[in-house]
């Protein structure tokens, strides 16, 4: 059974009261991070107040030391005094203490109120830099204390850093120990989602986006609504997106919504990987991976779409011709590679524009998406020309597809039927106010298609509309290429409307 604990970190008692009330809506347990209070002397009072209210949710009391990621400067003696003088709460309560305190207090004659039952004590260790090489030793040291629950949280800088955490969960299961094991940071999110289904005593979910108490902590609502954490078990099929970065990707939102709508026991996760070769070897390929799971497939995104190709057992002809794989299917002990970008790009384009045969198509950019666009447009009989900022780099793509290539700055698109932006210009963030082409440059063009989908209406599309062009947003490609991935993995067609609705809800409008 999955348990979501929502930590509450508030500076005053009033703020804590409000936050606990909100936390109770999404939490199975509520953690009072007493070290967040401006006045740590008020911690005992906070416990009394929340104990009296408690909302039927068990509480975890934590007064984290600064060295272990706490917010106050309360020293060792202060923490010891607090725990020793705490009035025993009436509500179901767990007490989260650092290893040094647990060792000290467990050897003392009496630890009021913890002497009542050490089973209620979580003995915790945090490492905010990485995965310590002596992780197993740390586990053994904590397991040797009388504390009933072991907690180990480390920083994941890459998806493969999650492997030692899954190993620890497996060990604790074998040894019948209660363990909370978490990898922090965006690369560790898979341990937060899959942990409970692999035996973790609980997982932490933030109150909201602004109130995460550890790096990479998703909200409790995301754990329930996006990842459907209560439904996950040892049978759950795992899919996900590998790239770097991946935390902005909308794919988890759309695929998980589609799994839920089709009532499929599957989850889709973000895998942040710097070195795709290591990731594929240690986590993906059935012959070499170091984790037992029902991995069914992967989406592949920037910068791994080409690098992943030599690591696969078979690649479909289209993906070979494009020179990029964006979809992997795990079949028995083989990895099969596909490219759904090309069909995902063309389906909405043909729906809107009609037949592409003899259409003059300008493709802005010369990277992976431009390659998929060029291949698909040529395949449909279109006449393609590339426009790029760096003709040296773009020459390779132009040569591979036998198309002309021009300098982007100062280009005139008059005479083109379709102009497609395949650069990140216009994307949420640093490029949001930038366009690869202005209204003046786009006069006379019939349709402008932006592969950027966040925001939905980019500056490029606004400029194109002002030039009288029909416009098409990249959201349609996102849904179409994702729907084809879903079909490859599950053999079923997803509900594309569900995917679109969830994507739109998550986007900057
Ligand atoms: P990529 O392989 O990195 O290629 C990016 C291209 O954009 C390169 O040609 C690059 O030129 C050019 N570029 C980057 N910054 C530029 C700038 N400031 N000015 C002019 N050109 C610039 O990336 P990709 O995989 O092709 O993806 C490109 C875009 O398409 C991304 O925004 C991605 O989100 C979007 N996309 C959307 C979907 C969808 O489903 N809607 C699917 C795939 C991709 P240089 O070679 O000179 O660096």
Q: What is the pLDDT of residues 428-463, one digit of tens each?
A: 888 999 999 999 999 999 999 999 999 999 999 999
Q: How far, in Å, from the CA of 424 to the mean position of ligand 1?
A: 5
Q: Which atom of ligand 1 is nearest to the CA of 390?
A: 47
Cα gap 268→198, rounded to integer Å? 16
Q: What is the largest CA-CA distance in the chain?
A: 88
Q: How many CA atoms lie within 13 A of 278 on its CB side?
A: 10
Q: How many CA atoms lie within 13 A of 257 on its CB side?
A: 21
Q: What tens digit of pLDDT does each residue of 254-297 get?
A: 999 999 999 999 999 999 999 999 999 999 999 999 999 999 99
Packing angle, helices 496-506 and 251-261, rounded to 10: 140
Model pLDDT, residue 86: 84
Q: Could you tell me the sign of the dihedral formed by the alpha carbons of 15, 17, 18, 21, in that order?
A: positive
- Check: CB of residue 375 under 8 Å from CB of residue 322: yes
Q: In this prediction, what percent of the chain has a pLDDT beyond 90?
A: 80
- Cα dihedral 208→213→215→216 (10° resolution): -30
- Is residue 374 very low, low, confident or very high in pLDDT (cuts 50, 70, 90)? very high
Residue at token pair 């609502």: 221
DSSP 26-48: H-SEEEEEGGGSS-GGGHHHHHH
Measuring CA to CA, how many Å separate 441 from each of 175, 353, 436?
A: 68, 20, 10
Here the tokens at position 335 are: 């990895």
Alpha helices in 306-434 (DSSP H): 317-322, 341-353, 368-379, 391-401
- Cα dihedral 347→350→352→356 (10° resolution): 150
- Check: CB of residue 237 under 8 Å from CB of residue 294: yes
Measuring CA to CA, how many Å separate 25 from each of 17, 111, 318?
A: 13, 33, 49
With 0-12 / 13-18 / 19 or more C-beta atoms within 10 angstroms meaning exposed / middle / buried, residue 492 is: exposed
- Check: CB of residue 44 under 8 Å from CB of residue 238: no
Q: Which atom of ligand 1 is nearest to the CA of 393?
A: 46
| Position 407 pLDDT exceeds 80 | yes
Q: How far, in Å, from the CA of 244 to the mean position of ligand 1?
A: 14
Q: What tens digit of pLDDT does each residue of 51-83 get?
A: 777 677 899 999 998 888 888 888 889 898 888
305 flagged as catalytic: yes
Q: How far, in Å, from the CA of 417 to the mean position of ligand 1?
A: 21
Name the closest-CA residue to atom 1, ligand 1: 367
| Position 361 pLDDT exceeds 90 | yes
Cis peptide, bond prior to residue 40, ω within 30 of zero:
no
Average pLDDT of the segment spanning 25-29 = 92
Give 367's contacts (C-beta < 8 A, 6+ positions apart).
Answer: 397, 422, 423
Alpha helices in 75-134 (DSSP H): 76-85, 99-107
Please state, rounded to an integer, the average pLDDT across all residues of the chain.
Answer: 93
- Is residue 116 very low, low, confident or very high in pLDDT (cuts 50, 70, 90)? low
Q: Which of 322, 343, 423, 427 to mutate to test the pocket of ligand 1 (most atoms within 8 A of CB)?
A: 423
Lowest mean pLDDT among 190-204, 208-222, 320-334, 377-391: 208-222
- Check: CB of residue 49 under 8 Å from CB of residue 18: no
Sketch out the chain's domains with CATH numbers: 4-222 (3.20.20.70), 239-339+480-508 (3.40.50.10860), 342-473 (3.40.50.720)
Q: In this prediction, what percent of the chain has a pLDDT beyond 70?
A: 97
Model pLDDT, residue 109: 58
Residue at token pair 């666009």: 373
Q: Which long-range contacts (CB under 8 A, 24 or more apart) does 74-77 make?
A: 74/35, 74/40, 76/100, 76/101
Q: Which of 411, 424, 428, 483 to mutate to test the pocket of ligand 1 (most atoms within 8 A of CB)?
A: 424
- Is residue 111 very low, low, confident or very high in pLDDT (cuts 50, 70, 90)? low
Residue at token pair 């995965």: 131
Tally of CB atoms within 10 A around 17: 15
Give the residue among 365, 319, 310 at the shortest CA–CA distance from 341: 319
Here the tokens at position 42 are: 């008020």
Model pLDDT, residue 214: 76
Model pLDDT, residue 159: 98
């Amino acid at each position: 059974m999955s348990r979501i604990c929502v930590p509450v970190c508030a500076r005053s008692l009033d703020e804590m009261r409000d936050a606990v009330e909100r936390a109770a809506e999404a939490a199975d347990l509520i953690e009072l991070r007493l070290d967040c209070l401006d006045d740590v002397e008020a911690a005992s009072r906070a416990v009394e107040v929340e104990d009296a209210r408690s909302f039927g949710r068990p509480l975890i009391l934590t007064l984290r030391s600064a060295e272990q990621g706490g917010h106050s400067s309360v020293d060792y003696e202060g923490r010891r005094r607090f725990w020793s003088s705490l009035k025993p709460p009436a509500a179901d309560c767990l007490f989260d203490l650092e290893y040094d305190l647990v060792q000290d207090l467990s050897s003392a004659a009496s630890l009021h109120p913890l002497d009542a039952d050490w089973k209620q004590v979580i003995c915790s260790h945090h490492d905010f830099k990485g995965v310590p090489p002596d992780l197993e030793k740390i586990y053994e040291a904590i397991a040797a204390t009388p504390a009933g629950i072991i907690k180990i949280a480390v920083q994941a800088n890459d998806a493969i850093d999650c492997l030692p955490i899954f190993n620890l969960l497996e060990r604790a299961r074998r040894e019948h120990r209660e363990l909370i094991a978490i990898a922090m940071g965006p690369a560790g999110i898979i341990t937060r989602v899959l942990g409970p289904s692999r035996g973790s005593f609980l997982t932490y979910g933030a109150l909201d986006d602004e109130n995460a108490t550890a790096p990479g902590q998703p909200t409790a609502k995301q754990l329930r609504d996006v990842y459907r954490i209560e439904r996950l078990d040892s049978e759950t099929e795992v899919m996900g997106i590998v790239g770097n970065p991946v935390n902005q990707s909308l794919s988890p939102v759309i695929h998980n919504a589609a799994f839920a709508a089709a009532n499929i026991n599957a989850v889709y996760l973000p895998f942040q990987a710097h070195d795709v070769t290591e990731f594929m070897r240690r986590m993906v390929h059935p012959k070499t991976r170091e984790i037992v799971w029902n991995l069914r497939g992967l989406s592949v995104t920037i910068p791994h779409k080409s690098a992943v190709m030599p690591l696969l057992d078979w690649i479909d002809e289209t993906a070979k011709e494009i020179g990029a794989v964006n979809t992997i299917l795990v079949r028995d002990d083989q990895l099969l590679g596909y490219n759904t970008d090309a069909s995902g790009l063309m389906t909405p384009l043909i729906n809107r524009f009609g037949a592409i045969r003899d259409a003059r198509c300008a493709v802005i950019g010369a990277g992976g998406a431009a390659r998929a666009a060029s291949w698909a447009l040529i395949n449909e009989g279109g006449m393609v020309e590339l426009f790029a900022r760096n003709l040296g780099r773009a020459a390779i793509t132009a040569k591979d597809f036998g198309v002309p290539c021009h300098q982007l700055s100062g280009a005139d698109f008059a005479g083109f039927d379709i102009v497609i932006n395949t650069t990140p210009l216009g994307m949420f963030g640093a490029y949001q106010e930038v366009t690869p082409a202005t209204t003046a440059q786009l006069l006379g063009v019939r349709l402008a298609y932006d592969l950027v989908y966040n925001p939905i209406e980019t500056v490029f599309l606004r400029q194109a509309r002002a030039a009288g062009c029909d416009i098409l947003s990249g959201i349609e490609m996102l849904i179409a290429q994702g729907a084809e991935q879903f079909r490859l993995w599950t053999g079923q067609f997803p509900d594309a409307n569900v995917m679109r609705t969830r994507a739109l809800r998550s986007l900057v409008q």
